[in-house]
Structure 1
Amino acid sequence: MKIAVTGASGMIGGALLPALREHGHEVLTLVRRTPRNVDEHRWDPQHRRIAPDLLADVDAVVNLAGTPIRPRPFTSGYKARLLASRLDATTTISEAMAAAAAADPGRARVLLSASAVGFYGDTGSRVVTEKDPAGADFLAQVCAQWEAATAPAEAAGIRVAHLRSGLVLGHSAMLVQVLGTVFRLGLGGRMGDGKQYWPWISLADEIGAMEHLLNADVSGPVNLTGPVPVTNAEFTAELGRQLRRPTVLPVPAFALKLALGEFGRSSVVGGQRALPTRLQESGYRFTHTDLPSALRAALAKG
């Protein structure tokens, strides 16, 4: 397949590109800076600009573009950047794919567009699958609008899958880096009461699931999460075990909310007990079926 990737400079994109090429795909990347090689092509999602013929012979697009969500307070300006970067990129890609489909209706095309399990909001201990509705908090509504921005591609008959990713556990993941440092200092512990679910997935399975979905006959939302959800208390206890450090210093919920604001309420103290129902039904087999094996891979030195 000929595959275009946006947002390729992040951890996920950095792992996806070599995997795709290793499996024989021709890959081009869309960048906002000056291209550095023949595989890079410039686009300007902020102004909805992309070369008209860039996606003409592309079979698939993996859309990962968007301002990273950081553990920090959500100011009005930061919220605007988070939303606009996702809507601009996804709308630009969707409209370009729709135009390509109109010019060459005989080519089968697929769009894998990033989203997140934050779509569901804080769901407590209730199990959630792809059938559950969107939550009401800011990140949930960002995800809902992000997914809706693929409408032009869907209307053009392109198969679209929304990748509702959980916490991706890779060696360079911010979660692994930050918590790893804190726990190695012996300052680790659960966050809040620890009962909130943290929906994890290993980096290997994040990439494997994307490659699987390029060919699987699946459209609509797909939870990219590990098959065995865990609570924050279970997650932090396992991280402590693997780092051989105590986890006896819990962080009070009020402190997290005070320091991180809405991010703390929705993404640290809150969570989702999300299951990868559609991914498993489509035949995907996980490399890391439990948290211990996923954390071991993430903590291993490259």
Structure 2
Amino acid sequence: MTERIAITGASGLIGRALTVSLRADGHQVVSIGRGGSNDIAWDPATDRIDRAKLAGVTAVVHLAGANVGERWTPAHKRAIVDSRVQGTGCIARAIAGLEQKPRVMVSASAVGIYGSCGDAWLEESTPAGSDFLSHTALEWERAASPARDAGIRVVHPRIGVVLTPHGGALAKLLPVFKLGGGSALGSGRQWMSWISLDDVVRVLRFAIDTPALQGAVNTVTPEPVTNADFTRDVAAAVHRPAFLPPVPTFVLRAMFGEMAEGTLLASQRVRPRALADAGFEFRHPRLPAALAAMLG
């Protein structure tokens, strides 16, 4: 059955790949955004959206949010929070008020909700942490309550580090590693929960199509790696050594401020329990094989 699926953040890394996948299977994708090229105009800061154009939408995938990978100035921290909480609330209230409601809202979240937890395994039932990203992700998920209260199934894919050579962290690191300049960050013992872009798209589509799936869904592979292992595996994938000493923690803090603690040095060893219970199978569960497929 052909569906009409609305996407926020359709021009982003994940949104572009999801749009291509859905359209390849004959679905109609409508983009929600501020620019004139979008199908549905909105302004989350003023809670405005063209609700009439949401008519007939069968699913909403909400991906929009300011980049967390920039230095966290007070202004950028506010943008990180507002872009997520205001945007989620705006779309949730809009679809809750429709006469014909979409059957599902897939509203992105992040594994940052757990905070930095050392070597502990983290599942969907693990309580939220107490740092900036934890509070942000918690409010991000809560902002979808109007849709949930209106009887719409809401899924929160808690997304880890998305790997693809076409954007994001891996694309930035590859030129350095190809020159033999790859090195671990800090102690290198911090856990990194990752997922290929291909599998992220498959999880989002699985969330749309699986009625039993709702609430938090850890969107990471079942095999997280330490930062030291990640460094070794990326270097091996590009056939270069990684013999440089780790970048000291104090250097990362000086360069990136609070963002270093919240992202680069944070340890999150996340298990995708909800996906496993729902029968989802990853195409790229292990990092060396995933990198070989991406870079091969």
Instruction: State the Cα distance separating 1:240 from its structure 2 match.
Output: 0.6
- Superposition pairs of residues 1-302 of structure 1, within 5 angstroms: 1-35=3-37, 40-70=39-69, 72-100=70-98, 103-104=99-100, 109-216=103-210, 217-249=212-244, 250-300=246-296
CA separation in 2, counterparts of 1:74 and 1:269?
15
Shift of 1:163: 1.0
What is the identity, as a one-letter code, of the residue corresponding to 1:117? V
Distance 1:34 1:260 in 2: 34
Tell me the distance in 2 between the aligned counterparts of 1:144 and 1:54. 29
Looking at structure 1, the residues matched to 9 and 68 of structure 2 have their Cα atoms a distance apart, in angstroms, of 13
Count matched residues. Answer: 292
Deviation string, structure 1 residues 135-189 (Cα, Å, up to 9, x no partner): 1111111101100100100110110000100001112222112211211121111
Give, as a single letter, the amino acid of the residue that structure 1 aligns with 2:88: T
Paired AA for residue 5 in structure 1: I
Letter in 1 for 2:179: L
AA in 1 matched with 2:138: A
Give the root-mean-square deviation of aligned CA atoms.
1.3
Please tell me the residue identity of whatever aligns with 2:170: V
Which portions of structure 1, spanning 4 or more consecutive aligned residues, are displaced by more than 6 angstroms? none
Is this contact kept in 1: 2:13–2:168, CA < 8 A?
Answer: no
Deviation at 1:293, TM superposition (A): 2.0
> C-alpha displacement at 1:296, in angstroms?
2.3
Alpha-carbon distance in structure 2 between the residues aligned to 1:143 and 1:61: 19
Cα-to-partner distance string for 1:79-103 (whole Å, 9 max, x where unaligned): 0011111111101100011001xx2
Amino acid at match of 2:41: R
Confirm or deny: 8 A CA contact 1:165 1:225 kept in the other structure: yes
Instruction: Report the residue type matching 2:232 in the other structure.
Output: A
Offset at residue 46 of structure 1 (A):
2.2
CA contact (8 A) 1:87 1:149 kept: yes
SS, match of residue 218 in structure 2: strand
Structure 2: gaps of 5 or more residues: none
On the 8 A contact 2:162/2:168 being kept in 1, the answer is no
Q: Normalising by the residue count of structure 1, what TM-score does the alignment of the two structures yield? A: 0.93
Checking the alignment, whether the CA contact within 8 Å between 1:176 and 1:299 is kept in structure 2 is no
1:25-68 CA distance string (max 9 Å, x none): 221111211136xxx22222222111122222111100001112
* SS of equivalent residue, structure 1 residue 53: helix
Contact 2:4-2:29 at 8 Å conserved across structures = yes
In 1, Cα distance between equivalents of 2:266 and 2:102? 39
Paired with 2:135 and 2:186, the residues of 1 have a C-alpha distance of 24
Q: For residues 130 and 291 of structure 1, what CA distance do their matches in structure 2 show?
A: 22
CA contact (8 A) 1:120 1:140 kept: yes
Percent identity over paired residues: 41
The letter of the residue matching 1:137 is: D
Instruction: Report how far residue 299 of structure 1 moved.
Output: 3.0
Structure 1: tracts of 5 or more residues without a match: none
Displacement of 1:108 after TM fit?
5.6
TM-score (norm 2): 0.95
Could you say if the C-alpha distance between residues 143 and 254 of structure 1 is closer, same or farther in structure 2, counting changes exceeding 3 Å? same
Q: 2:72 corresponds to which letter in structure 1?
A: F
Distance 1:8 1:116 in 2: 18
Residue 162 of structure 2 aligns to which amino acid in structure 1? V
Are the structure 2 counterparts of residues 114 and 133 from structure 1 closer, same or farther at C-alpha, using a change threshold of 3 Å?
Answer: same
What code does the residue aligned with 2:25 have? H
Moved more, 169-178 or 208-217: 169-178
Distance 2:194 2:157 in 1: 14
Does the residue aligned with 2:106 lie in a helix, a strand or coil? Answer: strand
CA distance in 2, matches of 1:91, 1:174: 26
